Amino acid sequence: WLANLDRCWTADRLARRNLPHPPCCPLCDQAPETHHLLLGCPFARQVWHEILSWLRLPCPPPNNDATLHDWWR
């Protein structure tokens, strides 16, 4: 819900406020932790795949270009 409203305290938002933040994604350490953490991270993509498969929802995992809002629609 907060991510869809762009209200999550991601690393880029913390950095703008001079607050401590991780330089890269804490799950994969491959990219800056903006919205990558929700859609682009290989670990997060696997989690989405497992959840959607378990729920038997015919929805592909998010692609790297999609916004969270677009993917949920």
Listed by start position, the domains of the chain span 11-72
pLDDT score, position 54: 92
Is residue 5 over pLDDT 80? Answer: no
Interval 17-67: pLDDT, tens: 999 888 888 888 888 777 777 778 888 888 888 888 899 887 776 666 667
Residue 46's alpha-carbon distances to 12, 15, 18, 51, 53, in angstroms, are: 24, 28, 32, 9, 10
Kindly report the pTM of this predicted structure. Answer: 0.64
Task: Report, in this order, helix, strand and coil percent for the chain, each rounded to 5.
Answer: 40, 0, 60
For residue 6 the two structure tokens come to 């762009």
Is residue 9 over pLDDT 70? Answer: yes
Task: Calculate mean pLDDT across residues 2-10.
Answer: 76
